[in-house]
Chains A and B, each alone.
Chain A
Amino acid sequence: MKALESNKDVALTKEKAQWMYQKMVEIRNFEDRVHELFAKGILPGFVHLYAGEEAVAVGVCAHLNDKDSITSTHRGHGHCIAKGCDLDGMMAEIYGKVTGLCKGKGGSMHIADFDKGMLGANGIVGGGFPLACGSALTAKYKKTDNVSVCFFGDGAQNHGTFHEGINLAAIWKLPVVFVAENNGYAEATPFSYASSCKSIVDRAIAYNIPGIKVDGKDILAVYQAAEEAVLRARRGEGPTLIECVTYRNYGHFEGDAQTYKGDQEKAEHKQEKDAILLFRKHLLNEQLLAENEVVAIEKSVEAAVDQAVKFSEESPYPNASELLTDVYVSY
């Protein structure tokens, strides 16, 4: 695994560094707010929060444009934000309001924005592997250089679709980057129990594709690995598997008491191992951003999330007539 120190040679432009820090803070702030709103009973349904894993989504999506696509998971808010989804539309979707990105018909687990290349969060573990192959097949068939990224968790790597999808992408040389977010737990079951391999990346060998394992708390390591994999895919050389070792700060879902986690790990991931604090320190040390610039980003994000909540609160619910639209027929 590459450590943060080894990545000081990653050259970020100021503009890129700013974007990356802003997106990380947006995800954290958004998720912390969803956590509060859910605890107050304001939000309906299930929510699975991405806080803690920001470096993965942002480090990868930093290499993508709107024509590149991503598939996501039930823990998809971070992917949406990193791919450019509108915060107002996302929050309103989680509220079930008609102004949501899916008119309130999808909810937290199904936020999609095809204009941004976000093909949908997915409530089915392992659902994304074949889908990423499909959007990559479109790109290959139409001879664009668009890339598909498949984000998935450590729980999904034992699913049959992992194997079917990676094999298909490998034999058809599809432009897919498979990004494992190994946060150590599939729901409440530790990775070490559920996986026959010590690392997810070991499985790349079986499919004869490149694999790289990085510290998923280190955004520069993720950024560097993703750059190589995305370029490889754009060149038509096929898929890559990246394993990002990370941690989720909240439970599997909101309401999870997280009894399976140790106190120490919970604490250290919020302090010395926190991806945002580490990147903030790096930005200041390397003088990529000044303290006042970092603070300005933090303040503007807080205001943007406040605005998203306000927008959602003030938005109407869908009309009853919406029940029967966007599907071909109803009996």
Chain B
Amino acid sequence: MTRKLSMSGAINEAMKLAMRKDENVILMGEDVAGGAQVDHLQDEDAWGGVLGVTKGLVQEFGRERILDTPITEAGYMGAAMAAASTGLRPIAELMFNDFIGSCLDEVLNQGAKFRYMFGGKAQVPVTIRTMHGAGFRAAAQHSQSLYALFTAIPGVKVVVPSTPYEAKGLLLAAIEDNDPVIFFEDKTLYNMTGDVPEGYYTIPIGKADIKREGSDVTVVAIGKQVHTALEAAEQLSQKGIEIEVVDPRSLSPLDEEAILSSVEKTNRLIVIDEANPRCSIATDIAALVADKGFDHLDAPIKRITAPHTPVPFSPALEDIYLPKAERVVKVVSELLGTPLEV
């Protein structure tokens, strides 16, 4: 049975299903339950995360499995890595991906390295769930999209879902995976609803999804920007232009074949990525296609990204920071040499 569920509801449901299936799955993070040891606070009143994504888990699984941590990202992230390598399957919540500054070593030099550095003797089945994304008026330290930083680290997998259906299936796949997986949740998509099947299912990590077929331009879009691309596709379709929207869904591993075969069909590539442009996923995908798909290109590769600035606070500035459908329409028109109708 499929029914409408929000993105945060889908993520919440995935965690519940994983914890029912495997008692080695635990959840740890700051206020993932909330109110630990507060006598007057009944567990049903507990926060369940700052935005309520983990609400209800503590009632079902208890505080032995839903662990509120102190605000010490290095401490609990490192603990999650070694708990994983010694037999548990932790989900560690890094509240905002921006906070990786406080615990990068635990991911970069510890968890990501164990399996290779120890000659294959260690497994690190940890899932780091983390919020990202601009548009929440959360300013420079709570709005970044740092998935490129993690994609640059061998040994970790990076997942960025764009719909509730994918969030649930990919999170279950992430928890089942025996390597560290960083699972990005766009905070501005939490309330977006979509069709989500009931029950346990996984979506393989490393498989892209064609969100809309088209023959004129390939538009690879990441996370929330998939929706920007789809909005642009609607507008362009009315002018007779059909873009193909490719959602990689995971950035590491990256489904190179899906991107390259789409470019082979359309001969043009745009990448939409709301992260900063230097050393970004947009740049990485552009390099991939320049290297392996050059013969199929009829036009320069275009990247639509945020500017190379911190995320501004003022709504007036943040609104122009993020990629927009209008900009996509404009770039597509330029690539095709089709004059813009205003």
Which residue numbers of A lie inside 8 Å of B, CB to CB?
A: 69, 71, 100-106, 110, 112-114, 119-120, 122-124, 127, 129-135, 137-139, 141-142, 160-161, 164-165, 167-168, 171-172, 325-331
- Per the bound structure, the CA–CA distance linking A133 and B86 in Å amounts to 11
Q: B200: CB under 8 A from chain A?
A: no
A167 pairs with B70, CB closer than 8 A: yes
Question: What is the bound-complex CA distance between A208 and B281, given in angstroms?
Answer: 46
A326 adjacent to B86 (CB under 8 Å) = no
Tell me whether B75 and A165 are in contact (CB under 8 A): yes
Pick from A101, A103, A138, A172: contact of B87, CB under 8 Å: A138
In the bound complex, residues from chain A placing their C-beta under 8 Å from that of B88 are 137-138, 141
On whether A164 and B75 interact (CB within 8 A), knowing A114-B122, A328-B157, the answer reads: yes
Additional 20 contacts, C-beta under 8 A, given A165-B79, A327-B155: A102-B119, A105-B117, A112-B121, A112-B122, A114-B122, A120-B122, A124-B105, A124-B110, A129-B78, A131-B78, A131-B110, A133-B78, A133-B82, A135-B82, A165-B78, A168-B72, A326-B116, A328-B253, A329-B252, A331-B254
**9 A-B pairs closest in CB distance:** A130-B78, A134-B82, A164-B75, A102-B119, A103-B119, A134-B79, A326-B120, A131-B82, A164-B72
B76 at the interface (CB under 8 A from A): yes
Would A168 and B119 count as touching, CB distance under 8 A? Answer: no
Report the separation of the CA atoms of residues A328 and B106 in the bound assembly, to the nearest whole angstrom: 19
* Interface pair A101/B105, CB less than 8 Å apart: no
Interface pair A127/B109, CB less than 8 Å apart: yes
Q: Which of B72, B79, B179 contacts A137, CB < 8 Å?
A: B79
Question: What class of interface size applies to chain B in its complex with A?
Answer: 35 or more
- Which positions in B face A, CB cutoff 8 Å? 26, 64, 67, 69-70, 72, 74-88, 105-106, 109-110, 113-122, 154-155, 157, 179, 206, 252-254
Instruction: Check if B116 sits within 8 Å of A168, measured CB to CB.
Output: no
**Closest CB in chain B relative to A125 CB, distance in Å:** 10
- In the complex, chain B residues whose CB is within 8 Å of the CB of A69: 86
Question: Known: A112-B122, A114-B121, A168-B72. Contact between A134 and B115, CB under 8 A?
Answer: no
Cα distance, A171 to B76, chains bound together (Å): 12
Report the separation of the CA atoms of residues A327 and B83 in the bound assembly, to the nearest whole angstrom: 19
Complex CA–CA separation, A34 to B122 (angstroms): 26
